[in-house]
Every structure is written in C-alpha cells, then in structure tokens.
Chains A and B, each alone.
Chain A
Amino acid sequence: MFWPIFLRVITSGDLWQASLQFAALLLLPALGGVISERSGVVNIAMEGMMLIGCYVGVAVTLASHSVLVGVLAAIIAGGLLALVHGVVSIHLKADQIISGIAINVAALGLTNYLNIVQTGGQGIPSLAFNLRLPVLSWGPLAQLPFLGQVLFQQNVVFYLAIVILLGLQFLLFRTNLGLRIRAVGEHPQAADTAGIPVRLIRYACVVASGLLSGLAGAFLALGVAGTFNPNMTAGRGFIALAAVVFGKYTPLGAAGACLIFGLGLALSVRLQDTGIDSNLLATLPYILTIIALIGLVGRTVAPAADGVPYEPGSAE
C-alpha cells in the first residue's frame, strides 16, 4: 500500500513543483537570516516579520486593489519591524534573542488582533485572482514534460527569489561591500579601525533581512494562500533559521537546505494518501530540521561576532 503510492508521489511533477515553491518560501527569510547574521546580528524574528508581511500584504492589497502596492507594503512592514530589532540590538545593545522572541510574539498577537478587529471575527475571505501574485508561465518551456511544470510554472516571486539568491551570493563573496559585511560580522573592532561604519552596515543588513521576510510573507499570503489566516507562517521563519545554519551562513548553502526542507513539507502534504497519520506527517519537515541540525551541520561556524553588540573603544 505504501510503496506504490510513494513511488507515484515521488515521480509526480506536482510534488516537485510544490517542493520548489515551499523552498522559495523558506529561502527568502533564510537569505534575510544569512545577511543579518553575516553582519553580526542574530535575527530569529524572521517568523514575525514574515507574518506581518502576510497581514499587511493582504490588508493593503484589499484596500488599494493593487497587489503590487500590497507587496510593497508587506516588504516595508517587514523592514520596519526589522528596524525595531536593529535599534534594540545595535543601539541599545540588548539581548538579540530576547528581542527576536519579543518581535515574534508581538507580530503574532498584533496580526491576530488586527485580523479580528478588521473582519469582526469573520476572517478574510479568499482574494480574487486579480489580487493575487500571478504564476509566471514561460510559454513553450512551460509545456515541457515534468520540467515545465516544476521549473517554468512557478509564482513570479519564485523567480525573484532566485535572482535575489544569486545576487546575494555575489554581493557577499565577490564584492567589496560583501567583504565589509563579513568583516563587521567577524570582528567589528577591526572593521571599525579600518574605517568601516559598523553600525550602519549592521542596520542595513538587519533591515534587509526584514525586507526579505516581508516579501516572503507577501508571497505566502498573496501568492500561495490567497488570504490571511492567523499564524499562517506556521514556523517557516524558524525553519528558515535552521536553513541558515545548515547552509553554513552562505546564500547557496541556505538554498540547498531550503530545498531539503521544501521537499519535506511537500512530501508531508502529498503522502497523506498513504494512510500515514497526517499529524505525524506534518512533523516531517521539523524532524528533518532537527536531524539536519544535529547530524549534518556539525562543523558550521557562525561569524565570530554574531550576536555580540559592538562596543567601541574598550580597554583592550
């Protein structure tokens, strides 16, 4: 009973299309995590920033009747929330984990509250298709068997995510700015004495992580779900965090991790026909996360000054 269904599922284009879509959803906040941690600021609040992105994206799209405006608003909302994290952890030098937890909890509460207030507890109905992020079909390419479905019929944000992935990999490891970002995350004193504006770079990187998480939220709400549900991010921001570590703090590495986790998520949905308890299946991506963290990661080394506020001019 299990194996035939499993084989069918694993060879279907549906599964891989979904895997890639889930992976892209994880990839955006993961890239945010990479850039933030590379600059030395621990950001565990991608979950909350994504959720805010979901809500603001839907609310503004409904209000403005423009999905583009909605997406921009979601991105900005994520960025603003990240700015809060930046002020707390860079300027006030507070604990970055606590700040992250606070933001996650606040984002959850705030979106629930606004959702209830705005809809009188009814919930937001499904969005009309013209108010959703469209799927991009690549003409003849999309007609290819299997590959067409998997690679050339994805949401527009999927392709955007790939562009951002490659851009970020190049930025971090092939440009002068990337060198500076890595320097700031490894040894802020050294960067400072080399004349690099440590705080400015950290702010920019943290805000960038918020912008990316906000975009991910818009993708989830406006592209995948077509509506807003309370806590609809369902831990994706945290899996993204694991992908950051798993991927050794590099964009490409994180992308690889996201692929694995995306496959796990997609499998947990598609394998429901096999008769395995669906609740059990739903834990699959998370179990994969834990296995990845304890088993495969091993030698990942975080940037040396990750999570350490910069204190200029100490005694030595």
Chain B
Amino acid sequence: MHEQEKTPLAQAADPDLAASPYAVEMRDICKAWPGVVANDHVNLRVRQGEIHALVGENGAGKTTLMNILYGLVRPDSGEIFVNGERVHIGGPRDAIRLHIGMVHQHFMLIPPLTVAENIVLGQEPGGPMAAYDRRRARELVLQLSARYGLPIDPDARIEKLSVGLQQRVEILKALYRAADILILDEPTGVLTPQETYELFDVLRVLSRQGKTIIFITHKLREVLDLTDRVTVLRRGRNVGELVTRETNQTEIARLMVGREVLLRVEKRSARPGPVVLRVENLHARSDRGLEALQGIGFEVHAGEILGIAGVEGNGQSELVEVLTGMRRATAGRMTITHTSGEQAGKTYDITGMSPREVRLVGVAHIPEDRRGSGLVLSDTIENNAILGRERWPRFAWARFILRLREIAQWARRLVGEFDVRTPSTRLPVRALSGGNQQKVIVAREFAADPQLLIAAQPTRGVDIGAIEFIHRRLVEQRDAGKAILLVSAELDEIRSLSDRIAVMYEGRIVDIVTPEASEEELGLLMTGGRPSEASREEQAQATGDS
C-alpha cells in the first residue's frame, strides 16, 4: 500500500503523491508554557492513509503538538493545513468539523454514563433540544461497531469497563464523529500485551480503509511493527523524519535522546543476601469483594530483584496494596527484616500496618497509579519530593515545622539527578509531562534508602532514556543490597531485570522461574497453563542457590 515510500527520493518522482496533499501539515508551530518552550518551530507532515509515529522523550512536546492539532491548546504561532487547505482550529469543535479525532493519553470518558451516551455525546441523534433517543443511539453504536469490527456493549457503564475496552470506546467516539485523521496519544501505555495486539489489528484495518493515523508511543518496537513513517521530536524541536522500514530502534533512540541508548540492561548476576520480605499465606479481597489473593507466599532477599509477572488483573495490584498497607489482608502474615543500617537483624511484622508505618520500617513504593496515589498533582514538585517523609528531621524541626530551604535544595538535587524536565521545582506537578511526573516519584522513592523497594510499573509512560536510567538505578539499588519487588506488565522489563520471576494467575503464584524461562513458557504460566518440569527444576535451583 505504501510502495512509494521505499526511498525518500522516490517521493518526488511519484506523480500521484506530488498531487495528493498531506492529510495534516503543521508548519513552524511554536508554543511556550511559562518557563518551557514545548514546541519550537515544529513541523509535522502526515500523508493520507499512513500510520505516522510521533516519538520523543518525555516532555518533548508531543502531546502539546497534538493538542494544538485538536484545538485544545492555541499555538503562539504557526500554520496548520488539513488536506492541503490552511485551517484555523480554535477548539475541538473545529477539529471535529475537519474530521480530526483524538484518543487522549488519559481517556476523555465520563465514567457514570453508558458507552452509547459517551459515544454520541455532543452529536446525539436529533440535536441538542431533542429528547435523548436511547434506541437510536444504541443502533448507531452497534452499526459503527460492526462496521469497524470493534465489538462493544452500548449499554455498559464506562466505569465497569476494562482499560482496553474504554480505549475501544474512545476510538469509536472518534469514528462516530467521522474522523478521517485519528490521533492516538500513547494508546498502548495502559494496555496489556494482548490488548496491544488487538489495537494494532484495529489500526491496520482503519488504515486500510483510508484513515490517517498519528500514533504516539515510547515503545520503539511498536513504531517498527505498526507505522509507515516517524517524526522525532527532542526538547520541542524536530530532529528527524524517517521512513520506518529504513530505520531501526537504535537510530530512533539516538535521535530521540541525542546520544546512544542502551536498549539492554547490563547487570551482573545477583548475590542475594538474607531474606528481607517474607510473605506467608496472604489473602485479600478486591474492591468488588472477590478473593483477589488466595494464599500468596514468597520471599525477597537482599540484593535481588523478584519480578512479578502476570496478565493484569490477576491480583498484582492488590498484592502491592496489601504490602504497602493500602489494603487490609484478610489472612496471612508479612514481615520485613532489616539487613543493613542501625537496625540490622531486626524484624517487623508489617501485617495490618498503615501505609505510613510501613514506610517507617523501611519500605519504599513506586505506585502504579501515579496520579492517584503517587503524587499530589496540584502541589509543587518540592512538596511532592518529600511526600511521606515530611517529618524527617532533615526536612522538619521537631517533626513539625518544615525546613523550606532544605526541602527546596533536596528537590533541586533530585530533579537534577533524575533529569526531571522542568523550569522550576516550585511548579505544580500537574504542569509536568506524564513521564516527568513518573520521574519525580521514582526519584523520591529511590532517595529514601529503603530496605525493600516495591516498584509497580516503574517505567509506565516514561521515555527510553528514562527507562534506561530507571533500570540502571534499579540494578544499582539491588547491588547495594536492597531487596526489590518489581511488578510490571511489560514482560521484557520483567525478564531483563529480575533475578527470579514469580508468575501470578488468579490470585495465586503459580510458579517461580528464572529469567531464562522462555517467553512462551511465561505466557503459558500467565494464562493458567501448568508449570513445566524444566521450570520446576530451575526454581529448585534458584531457591537452592540463595
């Protein structure tokens, strides 16, 4: 379908292509936020019918650029052409009129409303003054869903749907508005691998039907798998426009970051010490009252990374919540044993402790829901940098009066060390890009010098440079003798970092294997397949070693 793109030079020679204008052309777009230039004379050219990747580090200005195209943000200067015509996009209504649709990084769905209501919202059959025609809305949604092969229950409430289905609703919403140009801002960030495959199939079908797709991601493999061309941004500027088939991960990564990036983690083999975290027969219920954990038991040693793999929703989130005191265990026991510092050798029973108490006995936690439980979005970076440690003598006199200068210094140090892109530590965290918000949490938790570090989806939404950085730091922490529990939906991440991998399925740990276990084997375990003999042996070995 995109034969003409074999080489960039061939483009000019192709008469068809010369005649057909770009679906989207953005020229010299500038947008400055207070203290940051998010877009600095950015150009973007997207051909009709192609899948175009937009990549760049956290804070490179991708979302800003797309928000400008969708009319949510007004550019300071620059021009936009849609299908060759100069357009003014003053708001989402203009964008919709131009057949531009956007699936946002954080979904724009209204949880208590139904799927159909969300989809037709703003363009309901009959117009604003008419009575809401539920049956017609259903019909329209079902038609649309059949036409694009995106099955959905129109009467389900959004709040009851999985993230993958919610995303499907978002796509249907755009298609309902007759979008020909579809923007997807980090659509795979929250999806399970299976959901990602499904999404890619959908996008390929849409592209074959002539839709133009702009796809933002941090995962270079996805860029190579899915897209036709790539635009790379760095710190608000264009640094490359590539044809996907003629490039590779290393080149894209180098353009994005401005230096060579190690796409593989380098680490020595672990030298595990004594047990730090011991979990015995843990039971807990989910929010819906179901048995989320059904007798979990495992140990994490000092100086090792234990990875928890599993399809999302098999109890991983609940396990982390119970360990950090955010959810009550209905049965079982958890203990933390200090292996270094003043209290070396001391054991604490953390069952039933509050989150604050758990922190005090040496547990640091990078939560999976950074916006919900990791940060106070409206508060400054400074205050977020000491969140949970605000009573430390270092930050407060008599545990009570904050030492503002110390805190500011501390925050500046973390921001520098972890390369959080921001003009000031006094800004609210909300003003940071998604990946930079994540870095604030990671910085804070690493700096806490814990005995046990629980990292849940630590690299979700962060760029490859930052992933490399976080991975390196995790290994460093391990080598410094900390116990690390890593929970991640990214199998690659689990396999490259972990020293042992515990696979969770339906609230149980079905097996603990070594990272050498093949992807197929892990996949089988994750879907409830029986543990193989080989992995049993490995497990015996692994536990025998420690």
Q: Choose, from B49-57, B79-87, B431-439, the stretch at the interface.
A: B431-439
Complex-state Cα separation, A176 to B132, whole angstroms: 5
A175 CB within 8 Å of chain B: yes
A132 CB within 8 Å of chain B: no
Listed residue (A187, A195, A312, A314) with the most chain B CB atoms within 10 angstroms of its CB: A195
B151 CB within 8 Å of chain A: no
Complex-state Cα separation, A195 to B74, whole angstroms: 16
Residue-wise, chain B 100-123 has the 8 Å CB interface mask toward A (1 for contact) of: 001011111111110001100111
Chain B residue at minimal CB-CB distance from A303:
B112
Complex-state Cα separation, A178 to B128, whole angstroms: 9
Given A186-B113, A189-B108, A316-B106, is A176 in contact with B129 using a C-beta cutoff of 8 Å? yes
Q: Which residues of A contact B132 (CB under 8 A)?
A: 174-176, 178-179
Q: Which residues of A contact B112 (CB under 8 A)?
A: 186
Residues of A296-316 contacting chain B, CB below 8 A: 304, 312-316
Q: Which residues of B contact A304 (CB under 8 A)?
A: 111
A177 with B128: CB separation less than 8 A = yes
B93 with A175: CB separation less than 8 A = no
Q: Which residues of B contact A189 (CB under 8 A)?
A: 108
Given A190-B108, A193-B104, A196-B121, is A176 in contact with B130 using a C-beta cutoff of 8 Å? yes
B362 CB within 8 Å of chain A: no
A193 with B70: CB separation less than 8 A = yes
A315 with B431: CB separation less than 8 A = yes
Complex-state Cα separation, A314 to B437, whole angstroms: 14
A195 with B104: CB separation less than 8 A = no
B92 with A192: CB separation less than 8 A = yes
A192 with B113: CB separation less than 8 A = no
Residues of B71-98 contacting chain A, CB below 8 A: 72-74, 91-93, 96
Contact with B108, one of A194, A312, A313 (Cβ below 8 angstroms): A194
Q: Which residues of B contact A313 (CB under 8 A)?
A: 67, 72-74
How far is the CB of A102 from the nearest CB of chain B, in Å?
Answer: 24
A194 with B173: CB separation less than 8 A = yes
How far is the CB of B432 from the nearest CB of chain A, in Å?
Answer: 7
Given A179-B121, A194-B121, A316-B63, is A174 in contact with B110 using a C-beta cutoff of 8 Å? no
Complex-state Cα separation, A40 to B105, whole angstroms: 23
B131 with A175: CB separation less than 8 A = yes
Given A175-B132, A176-B132, A195-B93, is A315 in contact with B430 using a C-beta cutoff of 8 Å? yes
B127 CB within 8 Å of chain A: yes
Chain B residue at minimal CB-CB distance from A196:
B122
Given A176-B126, A195-B122, A315-B63, is A190 in contact with B109 using a C-beta cutoff of 8 Å? yes
Count residues of chain B with CB under 8 A from any CB of chain A: 42
B129 with A186: CB separation less than 8 A = no
Chain A residue at minimal CB-CB distance from B429:
A315
B124 CB within 8 Å of chain A: yes
Count residues of chain A with CB under 8 A from any CB of chain B: 27
A315 with B433: CB separation less than 8 A = yes
A35 CB within 8 Å of chain B: no
Residues of B429-465 contacting chain A, CB below 8 A: 430-434, 437
Given A174-B131, A175-B132, A192-B72, is A314 in contact with B430 using a C-beta cutoff of 8 Å? yes
Residue-wise, chain A 273-316 has the 8 Å CB interface mask toward B (1 for contact) of: 00000000000000000000000000000001000000011111
A180 CB within 8 Å of chain B: yes
A182 CB within 8 Å of chain B: yes
Chain A residue at minimal CB-CB distance from B130:
A176
Complex-state Cα separation, A215 to B433, whole angstroms: 48
Q: Which residues of A contact B110 (CB under 8 A)?
A: 182-183, 186-187, 190-191
Complex-state Cα separation, A190 to B433, whole angstroms: 19
Q: Which residues of B contact A175 (CB under 8 A)?
A: 129-132
A187 with B108: CB separation less than 8 A = yes
A193 with B130: CB separation less than 8 A = no
Contact with A180, one of B108, B122, B126, B433 (Cβ below 8 angstroms): B122
Chain A residue at minimal CB-CB distance from B94:
A195
B96 with A195: CB separation less than 8 A = yes
Q: Which residues of B contact A182 (CB under 8 A)?
A: 110, 113
B92 with A195: CB separation less than 8 A = yes
How far is the CB of B254 from the nearest CB of chain A, in Å?
Answer: 26
Q: Which residues of B contact A192 (CB under 8 A)?
A: 72, 91-92
A316 with B433: CB separation less than 8 A = yes
Complex-state Cα separation, A187 to B108, whole angstroms: 8
A194 with B92: CB separation less than 8 A = yes
Listed residue (B72, B102, B106, B126) with the most chain A CB atoms within 10 angstroms of its CB: B72
Complex-state Cα separation, A224 to B221, whole angstroms: 74
Residues of A137-187 contacting chain B, CB below 8 A: 170, 174-180, 182-183, 186-187
Q: Which residues of B contact A187 (CB under 8 A)?
A: 108-111
Chain A residue at minimal CB-CB distance from B186:
A316
A312 with B433: CB separation less than 8 A = no
Complex-state Cα separation, A13 to B130, whole angstroms: 41
Complex-state Cα separation, A314 to B73, whole angstroms: 8
A316 with B434: CB separation less than 8 A = yes
Q: Which residues of A contact B93 (CB under 8 A)?
A: 195, 197
Q: Which residues of A contact B431 (CB under 8 A)?
A: 314-315
Complex-state Cα separation, A138 to B127, whole angstroms: 38
Q: Which residues of A contact B104 (CB under 8 A)?
A: 193
Chain B residue at minimal CB-CB distance from A184:
B110
B131 with A193: CB separation less than 8 A = no
B70 with A176: CB separation less than 8 A = no
29 contacts between A and B (CB under 8 A): A170-B131, A175-B129, A175-B131, A176-B130, A176-B131, A177-B129, A178-B132, A179-B117, A179-B132, A186-B110, A187-B108, A187-B109, A190-B110, A190-B118, A191-B122, A192-B91, A193-B72, A193-B102, A193-B104, A194-B92, A194-B108, A195-B92, A195-B122, A195-B177, A314-B430, A315-B430, A315-B432, A316-B106, A316-B437
Query: A187-B109, A315-B434 are known contacts; what are 11 more A-B pairs with Cβ within 8 Å?
Result: A175-B130, A176-B127, A182-B110, A187-B111, A189-B108, A192-B91, A194-B108, A194-B122, A313-B67, A313-B72, A313-B74
Closest 5 CB pairs of A and B: A194-B122, A190-B108, A313-B73, A176-B124, A313-B72
- On B, residues with C-beta under 8 Å from A are 63, 67, 70, 72-74, 91-93, 96, 102, 104-113, 117-118, 121-124, 126-132, 173, 177, 430-434, 437
